[in-house]
Structure 1
Amino acid sequence: MRPTIAVALEEGLRRLFFTAEQWRELEEAGELRICGIDPERLAKELADAEVVVTGWNTPRLEGELLAAAPRLKLVAHTGAALRFLVGDEVFARGIRVSQAGEAMAPAVAEVSLAFTLTLLHRIHRFDHALHSGAGWTRTKYGTLEASELRGSVIGVVGASRTGRAYMELVRALGGVLLLADPMVTAGQAAALGAELVPLDELLERSRIVALHAPAIPETRRLIGRRELGLMADGAGLVNTARSWLVDSDALLEELREGRLDGALDVYDEEPLPVSSPLRGLPNVLLTPHEAAGAVQVRRRQGRIVVDEIGRFLAGEPLRHEMTREILATTA
């Protein structure tokens, strides 16, 4: 019998991730069951499924839903973050899990670089001033001095895949890199073109601090009121990783005072409320959690999922597997 592949994605996401060719490959690989994200329908379609394709809004696989899937052997996730979706119960049943986070790193790194350049050159402040009707002279000379990236000290918190891709871009443009990551040695940092330093030193020395650390218990509010206070006046914080890493209330206080600039793609509450005070601050650049939203990224995610399912069904090693141990130390 052909294997059954359940697709637990909203229709919009399914079309976003998979080209017509990729979808045909899935159809050739097994019998597809398009079940969406309704828990009752999903439970019904998982009854004889060996593989389930999941996305950001797929219900968590646990309890009754997992019990309804006795034949399930692979969770092929189209995204990167998995904590909301799987836990010990999945791994205890011997179900394998893969994800497509590798596809996102280049685009997120590019957005982090764009944020960095914007904050250095004060483009966000100029843009806000002109849109709000400020005078030309006041706009030109009434803000903090701009800096070029070449020679600027850029601090990177976390040598993740995205962090490494970002460092490569910054290094190519002449930035001076500092790195804080307890899992990296000085030699490894040097190979990445960075100086390994303690977090406090990084915060004190950096013109821009870019966050690329995983969202694990040890990094909860890694950047709090004390840490933000170590940053120099006029420095900028770039966060395309997780709001988990930052004390958002403390950051808002600093941004309101205008002492620091910020570029944020992630928030404690998403969608970001219309009433959020962040929306009105001239020193803050905001995007709606779309750093990985490039069309090429979505297609790569789909490609990874299709290929990973093909390898699994052929009995070949998975290339993007997430074990319980790996998940414990990553986002």
Structure 2
Amino acid sequence: MSGTVIALAVSPQVRQMFLDDATVAQLARLGRLRLPPPDADVGDPAVLAPLLADADVVVTGWGTAALTAELLTAAPRLRLLAHTGASVKPFVTPASFARGVRVTQAGDAMAYAVGEQALALTLALLHRLHRFDHALRTGEDWATAKAAPPRQELRGAIVGVVGASRTGRAYLELVRALGARVLVADPYLSAEQADRLGATRVDLDDLLAGSLVVSLHAPVLPETTGMIGARELALLPDGALLVNTARAALVDEAALLAVLSTGRIDAALDVFDAEPLPVDHPLRALPNVLLTPHESAGTVQSRRRAGAIVAAEVARFLRGEPLRHEVTPDLLTSTG
């Protein structure tokens, strides 16, 4: 590993979030660290090019510029991109794969945090906390604020999990621990696998029609884009609850807004078609909607785990061992 250069092509904010002192020290033992100049914008290719000039490894984060063919020309030694987040699509290009740059990411670190926030959102919806909060903050009188729709307990409730992904399985385990009965819809999951998870495998329509709570955890694929549209939303029982901490593209937002505007269902949303969510977006005014700003994975522990995964992957790569979280070109084109 002597002579290895590791470029930390992340902003000071991202570095502070993901790379604690122990992780930075671990990376420093693997090679010579190169950081961008103070206050430099790592989203500017002109800043990134000299940073990568003799780098063997680049660590990326939010806002890092993509590895274009021009940048790769300025980085002849680059062999690995290790991303502190999950989706590498903003950073990887066909040119980087063609040049033989391998790619890894830290999505596994976020699964539990997303599952736990989905649980928190589920409990808030079941107990109508969002409605109580909205009523009191907007000046409703005490009696009106108390007149929320009936509240439900998670224990004994039927919860539908769409997608047995890493986050889906984390959420499934958490709601089961609190006594929920779980249905799961995932075309790649067998009935036997679902049974081992403590869930019942059903098709999507049956899950929607039979669940009090539906939580989305599917990746964005051609077949999942817009999978929850007006027809699917109509299958939900009156009073059903929808949680989306996955991807906005799974849901037809206009159809969702239409049904939410009737008050027939409630929803908790962490992802949106337009981010940042416009300040005048109608979702912001609805009392039956709980909103969070795409932060379900943003725990301290999740980000520290992500940094540790990146350091471990860099170490494996430099030792010539298989990567545990590698993203290949076929995976990149088939995931969201």
Shift of 1:229: 1.3
- Alignment-mate amino acid for residue 79 of structure 1: G
Cα-to-partner distance string for 1:71-126 (whole Å, 9 max, x where unaligned): 21111000001222224332232221111011101111000001111111111111
- Alignment-mate amino acid for residue 212 of structure 1: H
Residues 4 and 55 in structure 2, CA contact (< 8 A), matched pair in contact too: yes
Give the Cα separation in 1 of the matches to 2:225 and 2:70.
Answer: 30
**Structure 1: 5+ residue runs without aligned partners?**
none
Question: Could you tell me which residue of structure 2 aligns to residue 53 of structure 1?
Answer: 59
Give the Cα separation in 1 of the matches to 2:18 and 2:91.
Answer: 18
Do structure 1's residue 195 and structure 2's residue 200 form an aligned pair? yes
TM-score norm. by structure 1 comes to 0.96
Question: Could you tell me which residue of structure 1 aligns to residue 47 of structure 2?
Answer: 41
SS at match of 1:318: coil
Give the Cα separation in 1 of the matches to 2:30 and 2:286.
Answer: 51
Question: Could you tell me which residue of structure 2 aligns to residue 109 of structure 1?
Answer: 115
SS at match of 2:223: helix
Give the Cα separation in 2 of the matches to 1:37 and 1:208.
Answer: 40
Give the Cα separation in 2 of the matches to 1:91 and 1:233.
Answer: 49
Shift of 1:135: 2.4
Residues 269 and 291 in structure 2, CA contact (< 8 A), matched pair in contact too: yes
Do structure 1's residue 238 and structure 2's residue 239 form an aligned pair? no
Q: How does 1:172-183 map to 2 (within 5 A)?
A: 172-183=177-188
Do structure 1's residue 280 and structure 2's residue 285 form an aligned pair? yes
Shift of 1:28: 2.5
Give the Cα separation in 1 of the matches to 2:14 and 2:307.
Answer: 10
SS at match of 2:242: strand
Task: Output the aligned Cα RMSD.
Answer: 1.4
Give the Cα separation in 2 of the matches to 1:162 and 1:279.
Answer: 26
Total equivalences in the alignment: 330
- Alignment-mate amino acid for residue 65 of structure 2: P
Give the Cα separation in 2 of the matches to 1:293 and 1:327.
Answer: 23
Give the Cα separation in 2 of the matches to 1:89 and 1:160.
Answer: 29
Shift of 1:214: 0.5
Do structure 1's residue 226 and structure 2's residue 234 form an aligned pair? no
Shift of 1:21: 2.1
Question: Could you tell me which residue of structure 2 aligns to residue 129 of structure 1?
Answer: 135
Question: Could you tell me which residue of structure 1 aligns to residue 150 of structure 2?
Answer: 145
Question: Could you tell me which residue of structure 1 aligns to residue 27 of structure 2?
Answer: 26
Counterpart selection for 2:312 from 294, 297, 307: 307
**Structure 2: 5+ residue runs without aligned partners?**
37-41
- Alignment-mate amino acid for residue 188 of structure 1: Q
Residues 10 and 37 in structure 1, CA contact (< 8 A), matched pair in contact too: no
- Alignment-mate amino acid for residue 204 of structure 2: L
Residues 264 and 285 in structure 1, CA contact (< 8 A), matched pair in contact too: yes
Do structure 1's residue 97 and structure 2's residue 98 form an aligned pair? no
Give the Cα separation in 2 of the matches to 1:89 and 1:222.
Answer: 32
Give the Cα separation in 2 of the matches to 1:198 and 1:108.
Answer: 24
Identity across aligned pairs (percent)? 58
Cα-to-partner distance string for 1:265-293 (whole Å, 9 max, x where unaligned): 11111111111111111111011111111
